[in-house]
């Protein structure tokens, strides 16, 4: 059985049961980003996109996975996931490659089913196959950064690493393992959950790809609203050593 992150799994349980209990056949679930942070995706004609998602259900599965316009009317590419109940009785990873037949700069990933029931989803991701040196970053964006010839890169930013409360502060050690094993954290300064898919591992890889020196930033026991007591700061700092 795949052991997914408890905190992220709890978050999905709350959100999806509220939706799935009310589902009728052919109701669409559209994913355009993370809350109000990323409200659109730029899908380009002729490019191939890798879709990854973990699925669990007590019933057989017939799920259509599509890239569409934000209103769902323009289908840019789709594929189906068909599985028996025994194949998805535990968390199961599915990977699809969708080649876009059109361009839409306000797109979303759309999941459609014509069956009633409860479907659990976790770790849903859409990434272009063609990225900078194959490491996940947009080629044209990183090319512009490279043209600036940076001598160093600092990661992450101050408010992000501190958090509004110390319990939600960024922990770098939790952002270097396999994606599915990263616990993620709540970015309470801006009010959204992040799975830390862009973590220290990706930061160090980007610095290497650009020939720049990495400037490490980590939390030393302070947030916007609280801090670790002096008597406890040693154990907190050791977590980063």
Residues of the chain with pLDDT under 50: 1-28, 30, 32-38
What pLDDT shows up at residue 238? 66
Segments forming the whole domain that contains residue 195: 133-229
Residue 235 lies in a domain: no
> Do 195 and 222 share a domain, yes or no?
yes
pLDDT at 25: 35
Residue-wise pLDDT tens digits, 104-152? 998 989 888 887 778 888 888 899 999 999 999 999 999 999 999 999 9
> Considering 100, 129, 158, which residue would you say is the last residue of a domain?
129
Per-residue b or e along 153-187, where b marks 16 or more CB atoms closer than 10 Å to that residue's CB: eebbeeebbbbbebeebbbbebbeeebbebebbbb
Distance of CA 79 to the CA centre of its chain: 21
Q: Are residues 206 and 159 in the same domain?
A: yes
**Angle formed by the axes of helices 139-147 and 200-210, nearest 10°:** 50
Residues 146 and 167 in one domain: yes
Q: What is the CATH number of the domain that holds 31?
A: 2.60.120.260
- pLDDT in the model for residue 212: 96
CA distances from 142 to 35, 133, 146, 147 (A): 25, 10, 6, 9
Total structural domains within the chain: 2
Examine the domain organization and report whether 58 and 169 are in the same domain. no
- Contact 196/155 with Cβ under 8 angstroms? no
116 and 42 assigned to the same domain: yes
Which of 129, 145, 161 finishes a domain?
A: 129
151 and 122 housed in the same domain:
no
């Amino acid at each position: 059985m795949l052991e997914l992150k408890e905190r992220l799994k709890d978050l999905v349980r709350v959100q999806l049961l509220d939706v799935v209990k009310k589902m009728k056949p052919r109701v669409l679930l559209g994913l355009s980003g993370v809350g109000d942070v990323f409200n659109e995706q730029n899908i380009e004609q002729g490019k191939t996109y890798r879709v990854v998602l973990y699925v669990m259900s007590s019933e057989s599965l017939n799920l259509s996975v599509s890239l569409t316009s934000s209103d769902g009317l323009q289908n840019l590419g789709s594929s189906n996931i068909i599985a028996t109940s025994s194949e998805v009785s535990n968390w199961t990873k599915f990977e699809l490659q969708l080649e876009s037949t059109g361009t839409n700069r306000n797109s979303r990933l759309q999941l459609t089913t014509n069956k009633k029931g409860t479907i659990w989803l976790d770790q849903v991701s859409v990434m272009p196959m063609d990225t900078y040196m194959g490491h996940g970053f947009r080629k044209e964006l990183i090319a512009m950064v490279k043209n600036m010839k940076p001598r160093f890169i600092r990661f992450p930013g101050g408010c992000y690493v501190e958090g509004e409360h110390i319990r939600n502060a960024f922990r770098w050690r939790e952002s270097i393992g396999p994606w599915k094993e990263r616990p993620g954290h709540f970015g309470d300064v801006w009010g959204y959950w992040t799975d830390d898919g862009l973590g220290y591992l990706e930061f160090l890889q980007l610095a290497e790809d650009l020939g720049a020196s990495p400037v490490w930033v980590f939390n030393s026991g302070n947030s916007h609203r609280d801090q670790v007591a002096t008597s406890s700061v040693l154990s907190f700092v050791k977590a980063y050593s």
